[in-house]
């Protein structure tokens, strides 16, 4: 699903989690971040999010979308966001803030539909349904809807779908998902189409066929039952061939959704207005209630929270996109009923880790010492305590099938503030040079808190931490470079849909190592590769045991990342915002339901 953006400026990939969730016991914030009864209750409810997603037929995929009770048209929603967007090219979107924006301006073959009661299904978006499989799941056929156009009035055809898939092979696409490309052409998929289809060469019909303007057929060498969920990711939204400007597309993409870009000042602001060529009769998920959205980047979470608590002027019409209530102001929110009722809450799919660059931090004793020493309790306090997250004992989130609440090889639950003595013991014979670590953090409020917590904990253990800050908006792009000059960085990852395959494969598969890959640790271990390949060919029950084995091996034998905390969402919106609800699919406010009350 994506890398995490919320408080840490991660922007998802789409994190798919089906099932409803209301945080229990949220009347008091003690900022504890401990692993007591509160965390156990939340995690039991989070487990609901691991249930299977259903695939819907043509009837459920036919628009218009079900009306939101009380909805009216008109007005502009103000959006507060701390960091700018790293990308707007769909092929480059694999983080949650851009994923939220993508739902407003882009459409794919499929999309996720929520019923507000906790159930999530895959419906046809540009396609008439969620897809038809044959040949034991190796072949998938999609038929395009009638009347679908881009913002320029050009009909969307199968040629645009083919173009969208093939451009993913181009070298300038480096930050997005790679599931579809690798499924079609293998780990070295770029070799199959190095120019991304721009030079005239095309993928063979034996892989991707477009027999007519309305039909798209994918052929795989092994069953791909998750394809409808994969194609619902923002990273596979359609890029019309006529409007593709390659690298420049990132700044001025062509809309197929209900809104289009009127003005974009990178890192400063984004203005969306209605796309007149969007037809609600073709869309069963989205609405076009408001006239537009004004995004204001560079607004810190503390400022966002203050404005929304005050609820004056434009703030009445404002939302937080992927930001959250700032930790020190949580009591100001929950203690005032009129403010508290303007919040959404939910357990997210992300696991936050202190990720090691294995090309630089080669001594496992060092990595283990960091893992024992780091202070999850302090980090969670900076996120809002019980409202911000729970201590993570391992690399699987409570929303993921196969999660083991008691699996805690480094004693994170017993020592959430860190086990300094154990860390010192491991470092006893480690040379001083190896205890000097470069930690990179985001240049925002959350990043500053992370810096203080990491320096304090590791300093007590005997590490010499050299901290460096980088731009929050491009954080994942920079730490995603193979030759980055950093030893460790806090990253977050959430499932793309309820399967360990969407965590282990993108984050810990050595075949995925490349610039822009979410394998931020650069782990490349033969045993892990073997287990991944085995699990991907097994039935779900058998695969569960293999994923468990892989998880334990990765964390205990290699330790590419120290588990820190599981994230929760606690967002605030203005009093004139209607239709606000928590999206279990995105882990944020559901942008598809919003309207202004007056």
Secondary structure of 442-467 in HEC code, one letter for each residue? ECCHHHHHHHHHHHHHHHHHCCEEEE
Q: Give the span between the Cα atoms of 568 and 582, in whole angstroms.
A: 11
Sign of the C-alpha dihedral computed for residues 551, 9, 469 and 512 taken in this order? positive
Q: Give the span between the Cα atoms of 434 and 522, in whole angstroms.
A: 19
Nearest alpha carbon to residue 590 among 99, 81, 5:
99
Query: Where do the DSSP E strands lie in 340-463?
Result: 343-356, 389-391, 436-442
Strands 343-356 and 561-572: antiparallel
Q: Identify the residue whose tokens are 């504890």.
A: 32
Structure tokens, 484? 């980055």
Q: Give the span between the Cα atoms of 101 and 177, in whole angstroms.
A: 17
Structural domain spans, the chain: 2-18+53-292+573-596, 349-568
pLDDT score, position 16: 30
Instruction: Return averaged pLDDT per consecutive 10 residues of the chain, 598 residues in all.
Output: 43 30 28 49 64 87 97 98 94 92 98 86 97 96 98 98 98 93 94 92 97 98 92 97 96 98 96 98 98 97 97 98 93 96 91 98 98 97 89 93 93 97 97 98 94 98 97 91 97 89 95 92 98 87 93 98 95 98 90 97
Task: Return the CATH number of the domain spanning residue range 2-18+53-292+573-596.
Answer: 3.40.190.10
DSSP annotation of 255 reads: P
Q: Give the span between the Cα atoms of 388 and 380, in whole angstroms.
A: 6
Spatial contact of 482 and 513, defined as CB atoms under 8 Å apart:
yes
Q: Give the span between the Cα atoms of 522 and 119, in whole angstroms.
A: 36
Q: At what angle do helices 526-536 and 501-508 cross, to 10 degrees?
A: 150
pLDDT score, position 28: 28
Tell me whether residue 70 is exposed, middle or buried, using C-beta atoms within 10 angstroms of its C-beta: 0 to 12, 13 to 18, 19 or more. Answer: exposed
Q: Give the span between the Cα atoms of 469 and 450, in whole angstroms.
A: 11
Task: Return the CATH number of the domain spanning residue range 349-568.
Answer: 3.10.105.10
Sign of the C-alpha dihedral computed for residues 379, 383, 388 and 394 taken in this order? negative
Strand order from edge to edge, sheet including 215-219: 132-134, 139-143, 215-219, 208-212
Q: What is the DSSP string of 477-528?
A: HHHTSTT---SEEEEEEE-SSSSTHHHHHHHH-GGG-STT-S-TT----HHH
Spatial contact of 492 and 4, defined as CB atoms under 8 Å apart:
yes
Q: Give the span between the Cα atoms of 493 and 186, in whole angstroms.
A: 23
Q: Identify the residue whose tokens are 């917590």.
A: 453
Strands 269-274 and 292-297: antiparallel
Alpha-carbon 176 to chain mean position: 11
User: Which DSSP helix (H) or strand (E) runs through 544?
Assistant: helix 540-553
Q: Give the span between the Cα atoms of 495 and 435, in whole angstroms.
A: 33
> Is the pTM value of this prediction over 0.85?
no
User: Rg (Cα) of the chain, in Å, rounded?
Assistant: 23
pLDDT score, position 148: 98
Dihedral angle of Cα 79, 82, 84, 89, to the nearest 10 degrees: -60
Is omega for the bond preceding 393 within 30 degrees of 0, making it cis? no
pLDDT score, position 526: 97
Structure tokens, 84? 């700018």
Q: Identify the residue whose tokens are 């974009």.
A: 264
Q: Identify the residue whose tokens are 């699996």.
A: 407
């Amino acid at each position: 699903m994506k890398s995490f953006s919320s408080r840490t400026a991660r922007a998802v990939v789409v994190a798919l989690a089906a099932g409803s969730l209301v945080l229990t016991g949220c009347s008091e914030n003690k900022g504890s971040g401990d692993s007591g009864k509160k965390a156990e209750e939340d995690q039991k409810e989070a487990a609901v999010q691991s249930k299977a997603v259903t695939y819907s037929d043509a009837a459920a995929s036919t628009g218009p979308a079900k009306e939101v009770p009380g909805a009216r048209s008109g007005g502009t929603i103000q959006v507060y966001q701390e960091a700018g967007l790293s990308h707007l090219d769909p092929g480059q979107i694999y983080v949650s803030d851009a994923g939220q924006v993508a739902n407003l301006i882009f459409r794919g073959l499929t999309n996720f539909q929520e019923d507000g009661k906790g159930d999530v299904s895959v419906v046809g978006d540009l396609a008439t349904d969620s897809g038809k499989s044959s040949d034991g799941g190796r072949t998938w056929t999609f038929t395009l809807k009638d009347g679908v156009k881009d913002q320029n009035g050009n009909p969307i055809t199968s040629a645009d779908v083919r173009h969208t898939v093939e451009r993913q092979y181009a070298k300038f696409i480096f930050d997005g998902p790679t599931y579809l490309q690798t499924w079609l052409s293998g780990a070295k998929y770029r070799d199959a189409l190095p120019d991304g289809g721009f030079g005239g060469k095309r993928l063979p019909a034996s892989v991707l066929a477009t027999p007519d303007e309305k039909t798209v057929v994918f052929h795989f060498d092994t069953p791909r039952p998750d394809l409808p969920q994969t194609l619902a990711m923002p990273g596979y939204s359609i890029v019309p061939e006529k409007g593709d400007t390659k690298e420049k597309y990132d700044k001025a993409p062509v809309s197929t959704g209900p809104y289009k870009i009127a003005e974009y000042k990178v890192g400063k602001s984004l203005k969306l207005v209605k796309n007149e060529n969007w037809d609600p009769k073709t869309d069963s998920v989205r609405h076009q209630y408001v006239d537009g959205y004004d995004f204001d980047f560079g607004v810190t979470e503390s400022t966002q929270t203050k404005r929304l608590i005050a609820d004056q002027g434009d703030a009445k019409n404002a939302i937080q996109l992927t930001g959250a209530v700032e930790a020190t102001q949580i009591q100001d929110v929950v203690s005032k009923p009129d403010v508290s009722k303007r919040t959404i809450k939910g357990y997210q799919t992300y696991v936050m880790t202190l990720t090691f660059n294995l090309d630089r931090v080669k001594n496992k004793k060092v990595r283990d010492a960091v893992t024992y020493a780091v202070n999850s309790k302090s980090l969670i306090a900076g996120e809002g305590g019980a409202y911000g997250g729970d201590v993570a004992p391992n690399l699987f989130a409570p929303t993921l099938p196969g999660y083991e609440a008691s699996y805690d090889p480094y004693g994170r639950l017993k020592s959430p503030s860190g086990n300094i003595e154990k860390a010192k013991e491991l470092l006893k014979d480690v040379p001083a040079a190896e205890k000097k670590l470069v930690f990179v953090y985001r240049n925002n409020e959350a990043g500053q808190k992370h810096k203080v917590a990491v320096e304090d904990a590791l300093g007590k253990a005997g590490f010499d931490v050299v901290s460096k800050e980088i731009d929050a908006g491009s954080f994942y792009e920079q730490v995603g470079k193979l030759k980055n000059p950093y030893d460790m960085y806090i990253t977050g990852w959430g499932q793309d849909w309820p399967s360990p395959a969407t965590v282990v494969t993108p984050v810990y598969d050595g075949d995925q190592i490349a610039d822009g890959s979410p394998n931020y640790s650069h782990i490349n271990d033969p045993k892990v590769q073997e287990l991944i390949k085995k699990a991907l060919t097994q039935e779900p029950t058998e695969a569960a045991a293999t994923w468990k084995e892989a998880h334990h091996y990765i964390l205990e034998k290699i330790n590419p990342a120290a588990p820190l905390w599981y994230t929760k969402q606690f967002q605030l919106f203005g009093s004139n915002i209607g239709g606000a609800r928590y999206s279990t699919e995105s882990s944020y406010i559901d942008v598809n339901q919003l309207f202004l009350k007056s």
